[in-house]
Every structure is written in structure tokens, then in C-alpha cells.
Amino acid sequence: MSRVTSGKVTHARHRKVVKAAKGYYGARSRNFRTATQAVDKANQYATRDRKVRKRNFRALWIQRINAAVREIDPGLTYSRFIHGLALAGIEVDRKVLADLAVHEPAAFGQIVSQARAAMPA
């Protein structure tokens, strides 16, 4: 019986890891052991930051909405605006509101006025 070596499989696995580490600094892109550590850590960051990206975008949308609301109606805050939207029965998410605030200020102004009208005096 002939001896089985895993040369092909090992080489392919090493090549896959080193290819994933392409562009890393120094030995992290050349040595298999160091590249494995770097790629593993990079994958951990990528997994974590997919969640963080969603948080960051929501925070950005809230900041844009708040700035636009205060520009249109200086006495109105973000939280009171969102409360007014709920009272008015307007169900538009923050992503769309932020996009309207940036690209369609007139339409956003109408939404703000409807939210303001729905709030009790």
C-alpha cells in the first residue's frame, strides 16, 4: 500500500489563507502561521462590525433628522418630532426621513408640519 501525503490539500489550504491576507503588513501577508492569526482576527472584526455598521447608520440618520427638524422649527426636538409622527399616524422609518431631509426639504417640511399639528398644544 502506498503512503498517502496531504501535500496538495495542505498547500491549497495555506494558499487560501495567504490569499485572504493579501495586502497585510509584513509577515502577516507572507508567513502562514502569522497570516492565519491575522485573517482570524480580521474575520472577528468583520463579524462584529456588521452589527456596528447598522448602529452607526441609525445614529447618522437620527442626527440628520434632528438637524433638519430644528432648522425648520427651532422649538421642536427630534424626540418630540418622532412622538408627533406617532400621534399623526405617519409610519416612515428613519432612513427614509433622513433621505427626505437631505434631498427633499419641502416634502420633509410638510411631514414636520403634520407632526406638529398632531401634537397637543
Task: Give the pLDDT score at 94.
Answer: 97
Residue 110 maps to a domain: yes
Residue range 28-55, pLDDT digits in tens: 999 999 999 999 999 999 999 999 999 9
Q: Which domain CATH number covers 89?
A: 1.10.1900.20
Residue 2 maps to a domain: no
For residues 97-114, average pLDDT: 96
Residue 29 maps to a domain: yes
Residue 1 maps to a domain: no
Boundaries of domain holding 21: 7-118
Q: Which pLDDT band, with edges at 50, 70 and 90, does 86 fall under?
A: very high
| pLDDT of 121 above 90 | no
Grid cell at residue 18:
495567504
Structural domains in the chain (count):
1
Residue 27 maps to a domain: yes
| pLDDT of 2 above 90 | no
Residue 37 maps to a domain: yes
Contact yes or no for 35/21 (Cβ under 8 A)? yes
Q: Which pLDDT band, with edges at 50, 70 and 90, does 118 fall under?
A: very high
Would you tell me the crossing angle of helices 7-20 and 32-72 to the nearest 10 degrees?
30
CA distances from 112 to 3, 41, 109, 121 (A): 77, 45, 5, 15
Residue 54 maps to a domain: yes
For residues 4-13, average pLDDT: 91
